[in-house]
Structure 1
Amino acid sequence: MIGVERLVLSLLTVLSVVMGDTIGYLGESVTLSSGANPSWHITKITWSIYNNDTWIATFKGTNSNTEWFGQFKSRLSLNTSSGDLEIRDVQRGDELVYSVLLTNSQREQQINKVLLTVTERLIEPSVRKVFSVLKDGHCVMALQCSSSVKDTSFSWEPEASFDGSFWRGSPNANVSVVWSSSSPNRHVTFICTASNGLTNASKVVREICQDEQPKPDVVVEGENRVPGIIMLFLGFLFGCLLTYIFRESLTCLSTRFNKSRSINKVCPTLSGVERNSSLPIERS
């Protein structure tokens, strides 16, 4: 009976599993918290993955080992006082559920599970003014916000004192545009915030909305404008090409009109046609 009671008590000392969520950034370091009771004197630590049957870091007595699994070799550090595990140079494959089994000097045990989510740290987005133009007494300005990180969404917010109106364009290929209408010759401040669902990064842009005309060679996304001089040059080349192609016919017509040269020599094709014709041919 005593043995059974001890077994039951030992099972009851294993505390309930606590799920945690930790975010790790590619190429950086992240620390997985063991969730140990601060009052505990930890005597045994076992960090594992894959249904708790693959050890990656252990500690018992005075012996510590963080080289159990090839994927994490030379990238782990185990804090034997708190039970926390540090992973250096975080990689995509590190996105796993980690389990830690802790034992204290009183042989009490605690199990904790930590879900590590790996993502790319967002950098400050890039914002630039596309153009500003005076229209109907208002200055219309377009600002573009972009990010090099994939699957990024954007949001725009004007300064608190902004008294104009603005419209947010639909983002496309990690690019978002905001259009604003306000009084001319004033500074306009907008905040562009990029988000990947886990973290955010913002950029503040302050641009002058000037009374200026749009540049003639500005190319708007989705639209190609060819300057007039290029069209003129293309027309000239096309005319030269037509002249070259029909040069013999033009020469032939000129010869027949002036009757200064023999049709048989200059226009063999027309001469052949005339020979096959029943009409009389006048020779000079």
Structure 2
Amino acid sequence: MRLKILLILFLQVALVESLREVSGYLGDTVTLLSGADPSWNLSAIEWSIFSNSTWIATYQDNRENIERVDRYKGRLILNTTSGDLLIRNLTTEDAMEYNIDLFNTARLYSRDKIKVIVRQRLQKPTIATYASKNGVCRLWLHCHSADEGALLSWQSIPPDATVYNLTAPVGNPGVALEFLNPIQGTVELTCTSCRNMEKTSSHVKAKCDGKTTEPQTTPNPKEQPQTRDRHLVVFVVGGFLGITLIVITICLSSGERHV
């Protein structure tokens, strides 16, 4: 670090430090542009993090080192010509500020900062479906998204259905469909989740026979054995107490006869 300061004192500072932003999705790849002048012949490249300038990728004396920090091993690619740094398989820990120090053969120096933002891809919405058949076909559907700020909407609603909006929390719309013809075939509907320029959808098929097909929300299977276990415990304990009460009653009756 002290050597770098001494070098900078003798070098001409070409660019003023600034802060740029780049974003990528969790698990994807992002490229941090060094911002170097294309005319530069780079002699040294230093990518670092944290306030103490911990090096994660360097190029000095024609030697490259991208294995300096364990959590970045196998995930970095350094372009020694442009100074750009590629990070693969993004994690939430990669969201931070990165420093880039560049040196060229003409004794020019520049420093820049890049802030990496890691985003999670929009998750598919879930659809809960309920159907009934009582003279007419009625379907109730509710769409939910686990992502904040996502807007939900329904598509492919059959034209021969009467549609009602269900009361639901903001961003989690529901619809009710009623068909005048009770002999209605399979109904296909789509709930789309949208945020900024990203979209994802879930589909559901339902019939007027009261049965629905995937995706249908069901109880957590991990909770079912626990419920059965509790019922078994109650049954065993109740049986034991019942037998004990019968034995005590018989003993008391025998004691009274002997008296």
What interval of TM-score do these two structures reach, taking the shorter chain for normalisation?
A: 0.5 to 0.7
1:281 alignment counterpart: none
- Measured after TM superposition, the shift of residue 121 of structure 1 is 4.5
2:6 alignment counterpart: none
CA contact (8 A) 2:11 2:108 kept: no
> Is residue 200 of structure 2 the alignment partner of residue 202 of structure 1?
yes
Q: Amino acid of the residue matched to residue 152 of structure 2?
A: W
TM-score, structure 2 normalization:
0.60
Q: Which runs of 5+ in 2 are unaligned?
A: 1-8, 220-234
Q: Amino acid of the residue matched to residue 179 of structure 1?
A: G
Pick from 153, 172, 183: which aligns with 2:178?
Answer: 183
- Measured after TM superposition, the shift of residue 189 of structure 1 is 2.1
Q: Greater RCO between the two (CA within 8 Å, min separation 6)?
A: 2
- Measured after TM superposition, the shift of residue 191 of structure 1 is 1.9
Does the residue aligned with 1:183 lie in a helix, a strand or coil? strand
> Is residue 20 of structure 2 the alignment partner of residue 19 of structure 1?
yes
CA contact (8 A) 1:129 1:207 kept: no
> Is residue 20 of structure 2 the alignment partner of residue 10 of structure 1?
no
Instruction: State the Cα RMSD in Å.
Output: 4.7
Q: Which runs of 5+ in 1 are unaligned?
A: 1-6, 222-233, 250-265, 273-284
Cα deviation 1:48-69 (Å, max 9, x = unaligned): 1122632222224532222333
Cα deviation 1:31-64 (Å, max 9, x = unaligned): 2222333444433311111226322222245322
Matches within 5 A, 1:264-283: 269=256, 272=259
Cα deviation 1:137-172 (Å, max 9, x = unaligned): 5623224557xxxx644542012767622336449x
Cα deviation 1:3-34 (Å, max 9, x = unaligned): xxxx89924x22341322333524x4432222
Cα deviation 1:202-231 (Å, max 9, x = unaligned): 1231434x434589xxx998xxxxxxxxxx
Percent of aligned positions that are identical: 21
Partners in 2 of 1:152 and 1:67 — Cα distance? 35
TM-score, structure 1 normalization:
0.56
Cα deviation 1:249-283 (Å, max 9, x = unaligned): 9xxxxxxxxxxxxxxxx8752784xxxxxxxxxxx
CA contact (8 A) 1:127 1:205 kept: no
1:211 alignment counterpart: 208
Query: How many residues get paired?
Result: 219
CA contact (8 A) 2:46 2:101 kept: yes
2:64 alignment counterpart: 64
